[in-house]
Amino acid sequence: MTENGSHTEKVIEVRGLKTQFGDTVIHENLDLDVHQGEILGVVGGSGTGKSVLMRAIIGLKRPSAGSIRVFGVDYLEADEETRLGVERRWGVLFQAGALFSSLTVAQNVMAPIMEHLHPPRALAVDIAAMKISMAGLPADAGAKYPAELSGGMQKRAALARALALDPELLFLDEPTAGLDPIGAAKFDELIVNLKRSLGLTVFMVTHDLDTLHAACDRVAVLAEKRVIACGSICEVRANPHPWIQEYFGGVRGRAALASKGVGADAARQEAQ
């Protein structure tokens, strides 16, 4: 979605999605669009399948029904070569980082570069150094192992790896989970800056209300096995669904709203 609110090309189109584990149905008849150049935040209560939805879109969880189109390609029905072509156009940051503990940060970032592009090693080293810098890490972080990094630095190292192949689409699963408020705010700022400078589209699973206000262009709410609301923060907050009202209208929701200076006076009055 552009800054003036007009719709752009759909990078992700999910229709009629059903996912389940055994007899337990997680999603049913779920529809969702992600537009080019936006940061979409996906929220929902525990067990609503936020991460499962992301894993279904990137092919790690085969849905029982429905369709998923990414960059216009029917990802579920595409052949292996076509799927690989689509996958090279996205990057993924998993919730726990999923860095290879036996590899340095630089080697972690180089792994997808060497696997998919097969460049000379010296070039891969230079590319990895550039991605590490883009993720906001100091140059000497590349020689360190994940266990030698703080939680915030591990997140940035995982982000550097997600950016390794110059993706157009970035998937982030709870990127600020476990970070202190200052670290989380800096990470939000980094994502927004990367989106603007690189023209990224971002699919972000999060529970962080501050992140929703600071970084997201739209918010999709999962409940009742589907997307029950999707729109700007203001549009979603106006939805009368009980979970939405409790989530955005609770003490933390009002504090997040006030901290961004959006309707701060009203939020303070409501809190009193």
Q: What is the DSSP letter of 43?
A: E
Q: Which of 166, 184, 215 is the last residue of a domain?
A: 166
Question: DSSP H helical segments within the chain, as ranges?
Answer: 50-57, 80-87, 105-116, 121-134, 151-162, 181-198, 209-215, 233-237, 242-249, 251-259, 264-271
Is residue 3, in this structure, part of any structural domain at all? Answer: no
Q: Which of 166, 194, 220 is the last residue of a domain?
A: 166
For the question of whether the overall pTM of this predicted structure is more than 0.85, the answer is yes
Question: Rounded to 5 degrees, what are φ and ψ at 56?
Answer: -65, -40
The Cα–Cα gap between 129 and 125 comes to: 6
pLDDT score, position 17:
98
The Cα–Cα gap between 70 and 115 comes to: 22
Residue 257 confidence class, pLDDT cut points 50, 70, 90: low
80 & 12 share domain = yes
12 CB-side CA count, 13 A: 27
Is residue 116, in this structure, part of any structural domain at all? Answer: yes
Is residue 247, in this structure, part of any structural domain at all? Answer: no
Does 4 have pLDDT greater than 80?
Answer: no
Question: Mean pLDDT, to the nearest integer, of 49-62?
Answer: 95
The Cα–Cα gap between 95 and 79 comes to: 28
Does 212 have pLDDT greater than 80?
Answer: yes
Does 190 have pLDDT greater than 70?
Answer: yes
Q: What is the count of structural domains for the chain?
A: 2
Q: Which of 148, 166, 184 is the last residue of a domain?
A: 166
Q: Is 3 or 207 the better-scoring residue by pLDDT?
A: 207
Q: ∠202-181-234 over CA atoms, to 5°?
A: 50
208 & 175 share domain = yes
Question: Rounded to 5 degrees, what are φ and ψ at 167?
Answer: -70, 155
Mind listing the pLDDT tens digit for each residue in 72-124?
999 999 999 999 999 999 999 987 768 988 999 999 999 999 998 899 999 99
Q: Identify the domain containing residue 114 by its residue range.
A: 96-166
Q: What is the DSSP letter of 48?
A: S
pLDDT score, position 2:
45
Residue 267 confidence class, pLDDT cut points 50, 70, 90: very low
- Residues 65-79: b if buried by 16+ CB within 10 A, e if exposed: ebebbbbeeebeebe
The Cα–Cα gap between 107 and 84 comes to: 22
The Cα–Cα gap between 232 and 217 comes to: 6
The Cα–Cα gap between 198 and 30 comes to: 30
Range in 110-114, 139-143, 249-253 the model is least confident about: 249-253
